[in-house]
Amino acid sequence: MRIAILGGDGYCGWATALHLSNRGHEIAIIDNFLRRQWDFELGVQTLTPIRPLPERLAVWQQLTGRVIEPFIGDVTDYDFLASMISEFRPEAIVHFAEQRSAPYSMIDRKHAVSTQVNNVVGTLNLLFAIRELAPDCHIVKLGTMGEYGTPNIDIEEGFITIEHNGRKDTLPFPKQPGSFYHLSKVHDSHNITFACKIWGLRATDLNQGVVYGTLTDEVDMDEALINRFDYDEVFGTVLNRFCAQAAIGLPLSVYGKGGQTRGFLDIRDTVRCIELVCINPASRGEFRVFNQFTEQFSVLELAKLVQMISREMGVHVEIDHLPDPRVEAETHYYNAKHSRLADLGLEPHLLSDALVNSLINVALRYRDRIDPAMFAPQVNWRAGRNRRRTTSMLGRDLALAKEPLSSSIS
């Protein structure tokens, strides 16, 4: 298949592009490198050193003989997006090109607005471009389990059948997003649903849980292909933070009671899910929803698991409970259905199998790059305005962040 990966230079996008290319699909990466710029803005860096995209693609071609075609531009620019679709003629478009951090969206008004403009406008541009130029193209949209929130009932896969006043209907599952980022994902889902209904487009919304791991078969081929490992308090995941803290012997920082429960999946399962959905597309006019995760854990369960495995490796760490900067239930019911991808053939990896090689060992390998200042929560949901670090706090040359983007990528 001809598959375009929007946001293909990012964490999920990069692993997906390599996996699909290795499976014989013709791949294009579309990116504007905004994710790399956010690191400079926030004064943070991924634990793993990421090479410039041209170098990554060159190494991939040398190793495999397969070419991944780059298109450098912004999905909020309709003319650019339309020209890419006209030139590449994709049969499927995997949409990762969004600001994906809840804390980033909660820093202040500016970050909330930029998150929603980037995400909602980019998705609207994609819908109109596909309607005009590639109406049979299948949209594979990365959603989030965070759209649902934490209701006191079981979470279905996208839709729920209800009875009310003697009548029965199947409706979209109620959404209770917990940040301006999650709200942007809800708006995307509504816009895509509407476009499929009125224009007959085909789309699959993948409500993904928290992804972990750095290694896939393809990424593991060469150091130059290594993927991101974000552990800072804005873009980092809780599991990455725990592994980085353990690597340098710091206590694992649990927000509140630690009962916050979410779905999790290995990056190897993410890329496989994307392929399964691409080769089994939605029908014309169909908007379908899959919950994309394999296991459920509370934050405290994750901390205890990392603590236990670290101790088995000779690293002894404690667990600290910090005041929760987010507005969320610290203990709650959580049971989400996730059978539709398994029905397509997904055979999941388990966290217990990946925690050492793909997480803790990676954190230990790059422990000299860990900045302890990046762990402390600085974005408060209740404040509405937060102060952020600058690049100088990492000891970087501020001039580097002001250079042209093509020369400042690292």
Q: How far apart are CA 102 and CA 87, in angstroms?
A: 34
CA–CA separation, 171 vs 35, rounded Å? 35
185 counts as catalytic: yes
**Considering 104, 181, 212, 255, which one is annotated as catalytic?**
181
Q: Look up 144 and say whether it is catalytic.
A: yes
In angstroms, the CA 13 to CA 158 distance is 23
Pair 93, 99: CB distance under 8 Å: no
Planar angle of CA 269, 272, 275, nearest 5 degrees: 155
391 catalytic, yes or no?
Answer: no
| Extended strands (E) in 316-377 | 319-322
- Give me the phi and psi of 183, to 5 degrees please: -60, -40
Beta pairing, strands 202-208 & 252-255: unpaired
State the Cα–Cα distance between residues 15 and 34, nearest whole angstrom. Answer: 18
Reported in sequence order, the residue ranges of 76-124 that DSSP labels E, i.e. its strands, are: 92-95
Strand duo 167-172 + 159-164: pairing: antiparallel
Which candidate in 11, 76, 150, 185 is catalytic? Answer: 185
The conformational region for residue 162 under phi > 0 = left, psi -120 to 50 = alpha, else beta, is beta
Nearest 5°: the CA angle 31, 49, 378 is 80
Residue type, 25: H
The span from the CA of 122 to the CA of 79, in Å, is 12
Distance CA 139, CA 133 (A): 13
Strands 287-292 and 202-208, bridge-based pairing: parallel
Cα(393)–Cα(190) distance, integer angstroms: 40
Tokens, residue 279: 């080769």
Answer for the pair 266, 241: CB distance below 8 angstroms, yes or no: no
Catalytic (active-site) positions:
144, 181, 185
